[in-house]
Structure 1
Amino acid sequence: MMIFGFQFQSPGPILVEFGPIAIRWYGFLIASAVLIGVTLCQYLAKRRGVNPDLLGDLTIWLVLAAIPCARLYYVLFEWEEYSQRPEDIIAIWKGGIAIHGAIIGGTIASIIFARLNKVSFWQLMDLVVPGLSLGQAIGRWGNFFNSEAFGRPTDLPWKLYIPPSRRPLDYLNYEYFHPTFLYESLWNLLVFVLLLSLFFWGLKNKGKLPVGALACIYLFSYSLGRVWIEGLRTDSLMLGPLRIAQIVSLSAIALSLLGLVWLYLWKRPLPDVVSSSRRTNG
């Protein structure tokens, strides 16, 4: 598989098999993304003077909340399909999770975690989002191995070959499609570099990157790319004629801009779940 001038073609969803046991690329990549992400979060926590064990504990909450919510979100918007084969509802290893569902579930879990541990929710989010963006960049390759989440037909040099069994009915006569998994992976990698650069810049320039700013910048930058990429996809979750991911992304852009205005123009801390007088660094 070469990136420039040659087609992409998945070797298949199975990484390795041991008799009846199969390890799938999708699950392996998600597990790798979580492991790399939590390691990075704990490192960043140390640099900000936050107990890294707190981030390890939060990761458990995030995994338990984010993955089921990502699956539930996807299934709800594809209910017509899953109602015909309910046994596949829990078959997450076959693909079919939505990052917006994961973010919603993870946010709820983080709010509860922050309140119970008397720490700033926004402080936690600032530490989580660099690892999250890197994890998204890694996880998107699971879509490649599953031959899913691709775009419209194309003849670009970096076109993606999709086998007939995975093509939408409207595009059965087309072989090559936009590798939107690659576009989003590269976009998330750029977001990661931006966030990491801003994190260390903030350490050197005290007060210029207030608590919560990094989380808002992540929400804005990721959502900006997702609006464009989602417009290329053939398998978007829909609400009538509207693409759900674009609606959610545009809403996230508006909220993140409001957060940045709150921090930089109004010069006020973002509303938090625990008052500053009751916070601890764990």
Structure 2
Amino acid sequence: MNNLVAALNPIALSFGGLEIRWYGVIIAVGILIAMTLASQEAARKGLDGDFIVDMMFWVLPIGIIGARIYYVLFEWQYYLANPGEIIQIWNGGIAVYGSLIAGILTIYFYTKRKGISFALTLDILAPAVLIAQSIGRWGNFMNQEAHGGEVSRAFLEGLHLPAFIINQMNIDGIYYHPTFLYESLWSLLGFILILFLRRKEKTLRMGEVALTYVMWYSFGRFFIEGMRTDSLYLFGPIRVSQFLSLFLFFGAGIIWAYRRRNNYPPDPYYPEIGKGKTVK
């Protein structure tokens, strides 16, 4: 029996020459859900309800620029020969880590200017970012990108995946690892775990929610990146995202241990914030 089925159309809507791609729609949905969750949590912690939305007007565009710059830098030989494509972000080529780095720097300066705790802000955003990443990976699914190496259809069926995922993983007659799905599920599981730990009394202090996010995401990304076929390489076989994942995982762990040992008086536990506890 012929199992080949046409791929899903990556174009959501088309008006004349204007096309709206599912990738953009899915990313936008993820961002809106994340902003809603973060805004609600910020209000529970005694911050202005508009704080998150106002901050995102800076973080989102700078994050996109950072994601593009990160990608271009590690593909510099190609873009040096094709400089006109540097700004053609619609043709693909953005990196999650670039977005996170640029976004965190923007948040740092924004919170400093507003006199709001940087650590608390990251704690508020951490699970929201994870759910946005989980949703956003389905944009890669629609574009048939961010996949892993070649596998058989029998392998994918053995994972008990729905037929629409298996069929979308068939690209030019070859089936591939759905690494987009692995990362989406890893991020979703992290979202649930961090929400649970964040609400648990006497567990995570302020700042440790964000550190948990860094360690969780980087740990999973290290292994998933090793399966992908579109990685950026630092040198030789060393993948940029794997190197950065290791750096972030151990760096976050060291910062966590240092803060627990040397932060005196200790920061409040996260659930205490907004219940009479104030932070700077």
Structure 2 residue aligned with 1:94: 91
Structure 1 residue aligned with 2:185: 186
Indicate whether 1:127 and 2:150 are aligned. no
**Partner-residue secondary structure (3-state), 1:149:** coil
Instruction: Name the amino acid aligned to 1:189.
Output: L
Structure 1 residue aligned with 2:138: 141
Tell me, in whole angstroms, the C-alpha distance in 1 between the residues paired with 2:147 and 2:41: 34
**Partner-residue secondary structure (3-state), 1:15:** strand
TM-score by length of 2: 0.84
Query: What is the CA-CA distance between 1:56 and the residue it aligns to?
Result: 1.4
CA deviations over 1:51-86 (Å, ceiling 9, x no partner) = 221111111121021111001111111222333433
Indicate whether 1:222 and 2:230 are aligned. no
Structure 2 residue aligned with 1:233: 228
Instruction: Name the amino acid aligned to 2:242.
Output: Q
Tell me, in whole angstroms, the C-alpha distance in 1 between the residues paired with 2:182 and 2:208: 25
Query: What is the CA-CA distance between 1:193 and the residue it aligns to?
Result: 0.7
**Partner-residue secondary structure (3-state), 1:52:** coil
CA deviations over 1:121-149 (Å, ceiling 9, x no partner) = 10100011111000000111111111111
CA deviations over 1:178-199 (Å, ceiling 9, x no partner) = 0101100111111111111122
1:244 to 236, 240, 245: 240
1:253 to 249, 255, 263: 249
Indicate whether 1:77 and 2:74 are aligned. yes
Instruction: Name the amino acid aligned to 2:215.
Output: F
Structure 1 residue aligned with 2:270: none
Tell me, in whole angstroms, the C-alpha distance in 2 between the residues paired with 1:7 and 1:183: 23
Structure 2 residue aligned with 1:105: 102
Query: What is the CA-CA distance between 1:265 and the residue it aligns to?
Result: 4.1
1:27 to 24, 27, 46: 24
Tell me, in whole angstroms, the C-alpha distance in 2 between the residues paired with 1:251 and 1:7: 42
- Mean Cα displacement is larger for which, 44-53 or 139-148? 44-53
Instruction: Name the amino acid aligned to 2:22.
Output: W
Query: What is the CA-CA distance between 1:20 and the residue it aligns to?
Result: 0.9
Q: Residues 25 and 85 of structure 1: is their aligned pair in 2 closer, same or farther, counting only changes over 3 Å?
A: farther
- Mean Cα displacement is larger for which, 138-147 or 218-227? 138-147
Structure 1 residue aligned with 2:260: 264
Instruction: Name the amino acid aligned to 2:248.
Output: A
Instruction: Name the amino acid aligned to 1:26.
Output: Y
**Partner-residue secondary structure (3-state), 2:182:** helix
Instruction: Name the amino acid aligned to 2:171.
Output: P
| Structure 1 unaligned blocks of 5 or more | 1-5, 165-173, 271-279
Q: Identical aligned pairs, as a percentage?
A: 39
User: What CA RMSD, in Å, does the superposition of the two structures yield over aligned residues?
Assistant: 2.2
Alpha carbons 2:4, 2:170 under 8 Å: kept: no
Query: What is the CA-CA distance between 1:9 and the residue it aligns to?
Result: 7.0
CA deviations over 1:204-247 (Å, ceiling 9, x no partner) = x2x54211010000000000000010010111000112100001
- Mean Cα displacement is larger for which, 241-250 or 72-81? 72-81
Alpha carbons 2:13, 2:19 under 8 Å: kept: yes
1:161 to 166, 169, 173: 169
